[in-house]
Amino acid sequence: MAVKVYGPTYASPKRVLMCLIEKEIDFEVVLLDIFKGDHKDPEFLKLQPFGQLPLVQDGDYTLYESRAIIRYYAEKYKSQGTDLLGKTIEDRGLVEQWLEVEAQHFHPPIYDLVLHVLFAPVLGTPSDAKVIRESEEKLGKVLDIYEDRLSKSKYLAGDFFSLADLSHLPFGHYLMNQMKKGYMVRDRKHVSAWWDDISNRPSWNRVLQLYQYPI
């Protein structure tokens, strides 16, 4: 039975889709339009009470929160497709560490940038120049740490592609494309090389071809 993924056009569900492709897991999608409030529909809220994407249904099993989902499938199908967790417990520790770095340090400022640069004009809400400036400064400091790390290893958790790298792609894509702030990556030699590597993986290209971003 194929895994059912809700909301494939949005950023966080793309994290799940790429993981499923890397793990060679069959999936199908359910299209939702958050601009029309589909994520607040009572039937959807029965499955995801916070009204957020993504959500997956795998038979009778339902799971939400994108990083929880990718951890689940990377573990469940560890011997299938790309190994996204590493070969040793030490590898796994580093994957988890950098996944947390992505969630706690990379994601908050880039999310605020996306919200104020791209979504505010579409939603008709004020865009805060101060938030944009401060978020870019915070993100720059995070990327400086990445630059140091990636000067010592090809990928964040070591010399293997993992969930830690994959998790950066959905919102990193906004930075490099729609927001036209690619200089933040290009000004950092090792971050730039890393981005080119992970963003050119066939799995990510397939996600982009199948499910275009709404903005």
Q: Are residues 137 and 179 in the same domain?
A: yes
Residues in a beta bridge with 55 = 6, 64
CATH of the domain at 10: 3.40.30.10
Residue 214 lies in a domain: no
Q: Are residues 33 and 123 in the same domain?
A: no
Q: Are residues 77 and 94 in the same domain?
A: no
Residue 42 lies in a domain: yes
Q: Are residues 14 and 38 in the same domain?
A: yes
Q: Please choose, from the candidates 195, 169, 212, 156, the residue with its C-alpha nearest in 3D space to the C-alpha of residue 15.
A: 169
- Which contacts qualify for 186-195: CB closer than 8 Å, 24 or more apart? 188/143, 188/144, 188/146, 188/147, 189/147, 190/146, 190/147, 190/150, 190/151, 191/143, 191/146, 191/147, 191/150, 193/150, 194/146, 194/150, 194/154, 194/155, 194/156, 194/165
The domain boundary residue, chosen from 82, 103, 137: 82
Mean per-residue pLDDT, 151-156: 98
Mean per-residue pLDDT, 191-198: 98
Residue 143 lies in a domain: yes
Q: What is the pLDDT of residue 129?
A: 94
Q: Are residues 71 and 161 in the same domain?
A: no
Q: What is the pLDDT of residue 1?
A: 83
Q: What is the pLDDT of residue 123?
A: 84
Q: Are residues 39 and 132 in the same domain?
A: no
Q: Are residues 19 and 120 in the same domain?
A: no
Share of the chain above pLDDT 70, in %: 100
Mean per-residue pLDDT, 153-180: 98
Residue 114 sits in which domain range? 89-201
The domain boundary residue, chosen from 82, 102, 120: 82
Mean per-residue pLDDT, 61-75: 98
**What is the pTM (predicted TM-score) of this model?**
0.96
Distance (Å, rounded) from C-alpha 176 to C-alpha 182? 4
Average pLDDT over the chain, rounded to an integer? 97
Mean per-residue pLDDT, 37-58: 96
Q: Are residues 139 and 69 in the same domain?
A: no
The domain boundary residue, chosen from 56, 82, 108: 82
Residue 209 lies in a domain: no
Residue 123 lies in a domain: yes
Q: Are residues 170 and 127 in the same domain?
A: yes
Q: What is the pLDDT of residue 122?
A: 85
Residue 192 lies in a domain: yes
Structurally, the chain folds into a number of domains equal to 2
Q: What is the pLDDT of residue 138?
A: 98
Q: What is the pLDDT of residue 22?
A: 98
Q: Are residues 149 and 52 in the same domain?
A: no
Q: Is 142 a residue whose pLDDT tops 90?
A: yes
CATH of the domain at 163: 1.20.1050.10
Q: Are residues 161 and 138 in the same domain?
A: yes
Q: Are residues 103 and 139 in the same domain?
A: yes
Q: What is the pLDDT of residue 124?
A: 86
Mean per-residue pLDDT, 6-16: 97
Per-residue model confidence as pLDDT tens digits over 15-29: 999 999 999 999 999
Q: What is the pLDDT of residue 191?
A: 98
The angle formed by the CA atoms of residues 141, 108 and 49, to the nearest 5 degrees, is 165
